[in-house]
Amino acid sequence: MQNSKTANMKLVPYILISCLTLTLAGSCTKDFDSLNTDPTRGASIAPGQQLTAAAYYLSGGRETGYPNLYFFLPRAQYVTGSWGMRSGGKYIRNDFYNERMWELFYGKSLKQLIDMLERSKSDPDLVNYIAAGRILKAYIFSLLTDAYGDVPYSQAGIAYYGKIYTPKYDAQEEIYRDMFKELTAAVSQFDASRQPLLNDIVYNGNVDRWKKLANSLRLRLGMRLSKKDATTAAREVKAAVDAGVMANADDNFRIIHESFGFPDLRGNGLSQAFHEESTFKYTIGTHTFVRYLKKENDPRLSRYFINRDPDGKDITELTNYISVEPGLYWWDNWGDFTAPNGRVIPHANKFCTINLPFTELQASFLHMGYAEVQFLLAEAAARGWAGSNPQQFYHNGIRAAMKQLEMYPGMAAVAPTDVDAFVTAHPLPQPADSIIKHISLQKWVALFPNGYEAFANQRRTGWPEMMDIVDVGNESETGKIPFARLFYPGTEAFTNTANYQEALKRIGGTNDWMVPVWWAKP
């Protein structure tokens, strides 16, 4: 039975969310708006409120869900089917979805975060807010640079303080170098004798967990350079591991949400996007994902997908998870399905669609978790950079990935006997290159539905191998070749012209989403 202390700790994030809601939607909203032009007019805003707002804007509200649902998840070949998924699934440009990360992360999260850092830097008592802010800032910039490549970094967000209204685009190599430096410095900066973190929606003021997040993110980013700069990658990976990474699921970097639909920011943004026009009904598992889960006899298949008839009844036993080829809409190749018992299943109901726990508005969003860290440690050990038992880390990752599914409301837990059986049936094979393949594939399974990281990791490792898309209407704008990055927003050509043009020169002179980002280039 849960003790009262544990119960109270679990209530804290919800209290923080309610406080944040008052900040975002109540009388304090005018203070946040005023920061866009003159931060001194919002002098009453506490640093914890700004730290929380910056974190919450990452996954709260429907627009935060668009790039994940319509670009990254189909690009990683998890799902396809709906009209919007043509962007990531058929490689068709959509400027609105493409620009959401840029607009929201720069315009909301980073604006709040950088202002908090600027206004706190002269007060030694706020050093813990500065340290946590630096870590969160590095995380947000890692998402931006991994998606777009060279981006405004060193001069971003300081229009008021630095009078720089058109920030330069820093080279990704330089951004990575500085992110490593920032994460390292932030860990050392925490000071237990100073004011504790209040209104902390990420870790409820637990400094040790913030430190583990910093080191785990350093591990992720270090591994990102494995093919581009193995020397730096090995050094950063080892340093991160030595400093102490996530040790269990309690260290997960997840944002807790509440059951509120659009336009309320308290609801999970991805879930709100799923609910728009009932998109979840047309979010179908791809052959790439479903067939891999079937081949491996993975018990998570029934947690990820389900088949329902027109009345909402589970008919998965009849259809056995019918998936579709990447690139297809749900209505392509129309035809009913006749089950082995002779029952005719209408076309619109024959496919396996995303399981409803993933679409719950109160579902947490996992930005980085213990399972991913274990797979990173497995790869580090396999490469000889840190640790010596890749299979142990690999199996830890599988177990943690199955366990983490329980964070989704109403999700059936994978039985311990099924977990044990799967782990036993999946030792790491030899040789070394095959080890990396299998680690990467299991990490791909574990990352769902975090398309941001799945997209980045697939570009780095090449796993999973992308199936050729099927383009019934010849709509693909890339010749059916997967895109390598997102487009820069078109507004940059008019509002930050000189720096935008300079950035384009580095990728061949045009705003081309087929040019790999720096760390993915041969």
Mean pLDDT of 164-191: 98
- What is the per-residue pLDDT for 31? 35
The whole-angstrom distance between residue 181's C-alpha and the CA centroid of its chain comes to 22
Name which of 395, 445, 453 is nearest 292 in CA terms. 445
Number of other CB atoms surrounding residue 470 within 10 Å: 18
Give the helix, strand, coil percentages of the chain, each rounded to 5: 55, 5, 40
Q: How far apart are CA 442 and CA 107, in angstroms?
A: 35
> Residues 360, 366, 371, CA angle at the centre, nearest 5°?
125
Q: Cis peptide before 416, with omega less than 30 degrees from 0? A: no
- Give the C-alpha separation, 238 to 385, whole Å: 6
Residue 209 one-letter amino acid: R
Query: What is the C-alpha separation between 320 and 442, in angstroms, rounded?
Result: 22
> What is the distance between the alpha carbons of residues 235 and 479, in angstroms, rounded to a whole number?
39
Tell me if residue 79 falls in helix, strand or coil.
strand
184 close to 520: Cβ distance less than 8 angstroms: no
Which tokens hold the place of 171?
């080279």
DSSP lists the bridge partners of residue 368 as 253
Dihedral in degrees, nearest 10, Cα atoms 480, 477, 291, 147: 110
- Amino acid at position 228, single letter: K
Across the strands, what pairs with 285? 79
Q: Is the pLDDT assigned to residue 159 strictly greater than 60? A: yes
- Residue 166 has phi, psi (to 5 degrees) of -130, 85
Give the pLDDT confidence score for residue 35 in this predicted structure. Answer: 38
Confidence of residue 43 (pLDDT cuts 50, 70, 90): low
Quick check: 19 pLDDT over 60?
no
Report how far apart, in Å, the C-alpha atoms of 375 and of each of 42, 206, 300, 349, 457 are.
43, 24, 17, 36, 12
The Cα 141–Cα 306 span in angstroms is 36
Question: Is 22 a residue whose pLDDT tops 70?
Answer: no
Q: How far is CA 274 from the centre of its chain?
A: 16
Two tokens, residue 287: 């052959």
Residue 250 gets which letter from DSSP?
Answer: G
Q: Is the pLDDT of residue 13 over 90?
A: no
Residue type, 349: N
What CA–CA distances, in Å, run from 466 to 328, 480, 481?
14, 11, 10
- pLDDT 10s digits, 339-398: 999 999 999 999 999 999 999 999 999 999 999 999 999 999 999 999 999 999 999 999
Cβ atoms of 82 and 89 closer than 8 Å: no
Q: What residue ranges do the domains of the chain occupy? A: 4-270+361-461
User: Containing H/E element for 365?
Assistant: strand 365-368
What does the pLDDT average to over 432-442?
Answer: 92
**What's 440's DSSP letter?**
H
Say what the pLDDT of residue 42 is: 53
Q: What is the Cα–Cα distance from 300 to 402, expressed in whole angstroms?
A: 7
Cβ proximity of 269 and 380 under 8 Å: no
CA distance 384 to 390: 9
Overall average pLDDT of the 206-235 stretch: 98
List Cβ neighbours of 216 (8 Å cut-off, separation of 6 or more).
240, 245, 246, 251, 253, 368, 373, 376
Amino acid at 327: G
Distances (CA, A) of 321 to 182, 227, 302, 340, 462: 45, 36, 9, 14, 26
The pTM of the full predicted model, rounded to 2 decimals, is 0.93
Can you read off the two tokens belonging to residue 234? 């090995």
Which of the following CATH numbers is that of domain 4-270+361-461: 1.20.140.70, 1.25.40.390, 3.30.465.10, 3.40.50.300? Answer: 1.25.40.390
Burial, 132: exposed, middle or buried (Cβ in 10 Å; 0-12, 13-18, 19+)?
Answer: buried
Question: Would you state the structure tokens that stand for residue 462, as one six-digit string?
Answer: 């090449």
Mean pLDDT of the chain: 92
How many Å apart are CA 316 and CA 351, to the nearest integer? 9
pLDDT at 282: 97
What pLDDT is stored for residue 37 in this prediction? 46
> Which pair of structure tokens corresponds to residue 116?
């908090």
CA 496, 153, 254, 440 dihedral sign is: positive
Tens of pLDDT, residue by residue over 286-334, are: 999 999 999 999 999 999 999 999 999 999 999 999 999 999 999 999 9
Compute the chain's Rg from CA coordinates.
23
Residues 476, 92 contacting (CB under 8 angstroms): yes
